[in-house]
């Protein structure tokens, strides 16, 4: 029998389980990969290609040297793809 488990409250859906914004690495089943400087614990981002909800497979603190440089700060945050923004109803960066 095929078992499908829905995410529940308290489930660890991401490697990082803290309260801070971190740097996340995403890989969708469709093959698309991306990185985001607005990644949160137990929070998905939607894939730009197939709109699937994807949880980061790796997360690192933003304080790690050189890593934050990879994030283009002038690039607008894609709120419609961000699970945190959708949950908050506003820009997660200001959280």
User: Is residue 82 part of the contact set for Zn ion (CB under 5 A)?
Assistant: yes
Q: What x-and-dash track marks residues 17-56 binding Zn ion by CB under 5 A?
A: -----------x-x-x-----x--------x-xx-x----
Min dist CB 80 to Zn ion, Å, is 9
Among residues 67, 18, 9, the alpha carbon closest in space to that of 41 is found at: 18
CA distance 88 to 69: 26
Alpha carbon dihedral 5, 10, 14, 18, in 10-degree steps, equals: 180
Which one, 65 or 76, has the nearer CB to Zn ion? 76
């Amino acid at each position: 029998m095929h078992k499908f488990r829905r995410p529940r409250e308290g489930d660890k859906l991401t490697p990082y389980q803290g309260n801070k914004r971190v740097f996340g690495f995403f890989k969708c089943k469709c093959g698309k990969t991306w990185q985001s400087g607005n990644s949160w614990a137990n929070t998905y981002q939607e894939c730009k290609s197939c709109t699937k909800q994807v949880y980061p497979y790796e997360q690192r603190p933003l304080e790690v040297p050189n890593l934050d440089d990879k994030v283009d700060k002038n690039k607008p945050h894609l709120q419609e793809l961000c699970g945190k923004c959708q949950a908050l109803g506003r820009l997660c960066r200001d959280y």
